[in-house]
Chains A and B, each alone.
Chain A
Amino acid sequence: MRDDSALLAWLELEREAVWVYPLIGARAPQLAAAARTSWNAHREVRDRLVTAVATDTTRARASYAVPDLTDPDTARTFAQRLERRIQAACAAAVAAADPTQRALPLHGLRTAALAELTWGAPPTAFPGLA
């Protein structure tokens, strides 16, 4: 039986992203455009992940722990950290995947790396491995 644990761990983070970005947009209106961009990107990845896993044993939580997102700097920092956690999960998913199944975590890693820039982070040499 295929071990989807790496994909499921990643899926949980994608669900967190899909939950938190509308909240950031609502609480910090000046970040609404960035939040919408990231929300759309992570919804697309989440949907592909749900299709990819053999059995989805995870469920979106009712809520997630967040800091005071009305402060734009706090919201940006939180978003950058979330994107870095997703990058690390994608790297783990690359490691766990058969070579023929690496395309999806590659896509996820690229998406999270670019989203991190959206939130003001500088580019890094090896996203997901820092």
Chain B
Amino acid sequence: MLSRRVLLAGAAGTVAVAAGAVVATGRVDDALQAAGVRPTPLPTGPDVALAEAARADVDALLALARRQGADDVTVALLEGQAKGWPATTRTVAPPASSLSEACRAAAVAREKACEAAVSTDLAVVLASSAAGLHQLVTHLSGSP
């Protein structure tokens, strides 16, 4: 999971640290291969945007959950999801719907993002995040 998070950070600088070399943007593939790291699709511009959108989205859900006094399980799950994404300065408007409906919409958005992701690592994390949000919707409904 940690390696996935590092890759998800997406910035060339982060990847360069992983490869143990300082490289300029655009030379990351060479550095990774020189360091023996498996060649994998690196986060591209659109992938970074997907990851940032996911983080901004979960930040908004977490704020809504806290404002509504959600239970500990709900807050802990959303905090856990937030830690899985790189920090971003991007923000989204607070959900106008109920927390449950907002989580359901976020889960669907993650699934769509998964199908759009170039990086397989990002796709997996998006898929998992969607599943976690679906679990949360069920939890919030009070029935397993």
> Interface residues, chain A, CB within 8 Å of chain B?
87, 90-91, 94-96, 99-100, 102-103, 105-106, 109-110, 112-114, 116-120, 122-129
Contact = CB atoms under 8 A, between A and B. Distances in A.
Contacts of A91: 124, 127-128
B36 interface: no
Given A125-B80, A126-B81, A102 B125 contact: no
A99 B73 contact: no
Chain B interface, DSSP helix/strand/loop, else mixed: helix
A124 B80 contact: yes
Contact size class for B? Answer: 20 to 34
Contacts of B127: 90-91, 94, 102, 105-106, 109, 128
A124 B124 contact: no
A118 B116 CA distance: 30
A-B complex: 3 closest residue pairs judged by Cβ atoms: A125-B80, A123-B135, A113-B131
Chain A interface, DSSP helix/strand/loop, else mixed: helix
A129 B133 CA distance: 14
B130 A94 contact: no
A113 B116 CA distance: 22
Given A106-B111, A106-B114, A124-B132, A95 B139 contact: no
Contacts of B134: 110, 113-114
A116 B132 CA distance: 11
Contacts of B138: 114, 117, 123
A65 B123 CA distance: 33
A123 B117 contact: no
B139 A126 contact: no
26 contacts: A91-B124, A91-B128, A94-B120, A95-B120, A95-B124, A99-B117, A102-B114, A102-B127, A109-B128, A110-B130, A110-B134, A113-B134, A114-B134, A114-B138, A117-B135, A117-B138, A118-B144, A120-B144, A123-B139, A124-B132, A125-B77, A125-B80, A127-B128, A128-B127, A129-B1, A129-B128
